[in-house]
Amino acid sequence: MLSVIFGILLGLSVFILLQIYLNSQKTVQAQAVADDIILDANEAAEEITQSAKNKYDNYVEELQEKFEEDIQPHLAHIEDLKAIIDQQQVHLNSQYQKKMSYVDQVQSSLQSLESSHGNRMSAHNQKQAEKSQWLQKYREKIQQSHNINVEETIELLKKQSIDQFRNETLKQIQIQEELYHQDIEKQAKYVLGRILNRFERPYCPERGIPNINFPNERVMNNVLGPEQKYLKLLEQEIGVDLTAYPEKLFLNVSGFDPVRRELTRRTCDNLMREKRIDEHKIKKTLEKSKRDMFQKIRMDGNRICKELGLKNVHPEIRNMMGSLRYRYSFSQNQHFHCAEVGWLCGLLSSELGLNIHKGRRAGMLHDIGKSMDHSIDGGHAVIGAEFISKHEEEKDIVHAVRAHHFDEQPSTDLAYLVIAADAISGARPGARRSTVESYTQKMEDLIRIGNSFKEVMSTYIVSAGREVRLVVDSRKVDDSHALNLSKKVADKIEEECTYPGQIRVTVIRQTQAIEYAK
């Protein structure tokens, strides 16, 4: 048994040793093969390197030869340029020498002139001193012979000459201003005539109706209810003051908001068609009238923007323009007035070469503040400018709206065009109806402004307020002062009064020369 085990172990040992020997022989053979491969690779690399070096040297030689062939014409041209430069250098040196010799001559001439000027100045100073002495002697002689003060006489003559020159200058200025104004007025009339002939939009004579008329007493009693109990409900729901006149069959509507007044009229018109009326019916009719009216306001706002061809107008601005349909100024409908001003301002812009769409936009928006001035403090120009500024209108449009009543000093052509278009629309025949109170107030304001100047003796209003005549004391007011006084009065009228067109200010001073023959 032990011999068998020993034989197995011996066989395994011999097998293992034999495997180790064989592996070592394979390793030696593999190393020899690897050395041969490396040697062959090194030889191939040397051959490739040598071949690449030879090709590089050949390529460099070819480039060198080509470079020499290409540069030869340029070298010849460079030599020609060098020759030309040398010639120019020689010419410039000769010119420089000539200029320097001329400068030397000029300097010598200047030195001689300076010496001559010094001699002349000394002679001039000597003559001035002699002249001063002669004048002093002459003054003393005149003063002794005529017993007058020469200095006072000279000052008096200076003052008289200055006054005379000032008066003549003022007269020339006045003449030039009159000619200038005549020329400007002629050009303005020409432009206005062109735009009015191009303006085809008819004026709409729509007027506000403050009263609601009923066809008969039965309908009136049906709408107002027994003992007029529905009247208070309408006042409470709408926010207006209503006064019924049963004997005259009409209902007077009072309120600051024109939209609420129009809503009252629409609601009453709808209630007149109902046979049976109660509180629920009134509220239902009021809601329907309100929806219809808001839809009408949106349609009117969209219509005016479409009519003027304006795009990208904010919806809130469109709604405010639609609500102006129910706002009146001197009985002129402001919705149509804004459309007119938009058209006119656009035409004026086209005549002067400005942006037509900006002119239309500024003209349309100029009175948008009137749609909200009943609920916000301030003038409608400032309110409207703030409103459109919040809704991303351009700065020049905002400025034109704010400045169209001089709440801000106009500083752009567009602002002045809006002012002109607004005046044209308001002054068109039949556009506005001035009340007796407003006319009387205007006359009183003009008289008050004229009499506020101490130089004025009396003030007269001519041509229904188109001209103001001021009678002054001729002993206190001369020609130059009269011109300045007329300007001051005109400026004060512009600051304190609002009016269409223009007002002429005339200063009248009377000078009488009276002598009696005996």
3-state secondary structure of 243: strand
Three-state secondary structure readout of 4-44: HHHHHHHHHHHHHHHHHHHHHHHHHHHHHHHHHHHHHHHHH
Architecture of the domain defined by 223-228+268-427: Orthogonal Bundle (1.10)
Domain 436-509: assigned CATH number: 3.30.70.1350
Residue type, 99: K
CA-to-CA distance for 455 and 477, rounded, in angstroms? 7
The answer, yes or no, to whether residue 327 has pLDDT greater than 80, is yes
Is-contact 240 264, C-beta < 8 A?
yes
Helices (H), 274-379: 279-308, 315-323, 334-351, 356-365
What are 138's two structure tokens?
């002459």
Q: What pLDDT sits at residue 426?
A: 77
Q: Is 62 helix (H, G, I), strand (E, B) or coil?
A: helix
Pairing mode, strands 211-213 and 332-333: unpaired
Residue 241: pLDDT band by 50, 70, 90 thresholds?
confident
Return the DSSP state at 377.
S
Task: Please give the distance of CA 341 from its chain centroid, rounded to a whole number.
Answer: 18
244 pLDDT tier (thresholds 50, 70, 90): confident
- Give residue-wise pLDDT tens across range 85-134: 888 888 888 888 888 888 888 888 888 888 888 888 888 888 888 877 87
d(CA 289, CA 265): 9
Q: The whole model's pTM is what?
A: 0.55
Closest CA to 44 of 33, 55, 52: 52
Q: How confident is the model at residue 302 (pLDDT cuts 50, 70, 90)?
A: very high
User: Is the pLDDT reported for residue 145 higher than 70?
Assistant: no
The pair of structure tokens assigned to 509 is: 């001073």
Angle at 328 between CA 325 and CA 334, to 5 degrees: 50
pLDDT digits 0-9 by tens, 4-37: 777 777 777 777 877 787 777 778 787 877 877 8
Question: Is 354 within 8 Å of 413 (Cβ atoms)?
Answer: yes
Helix axes 413-427, 356-365, angle to 10 degrees: 60
How many of the other CB atoms lie within 10 Å of CB of 53? Answer: 10
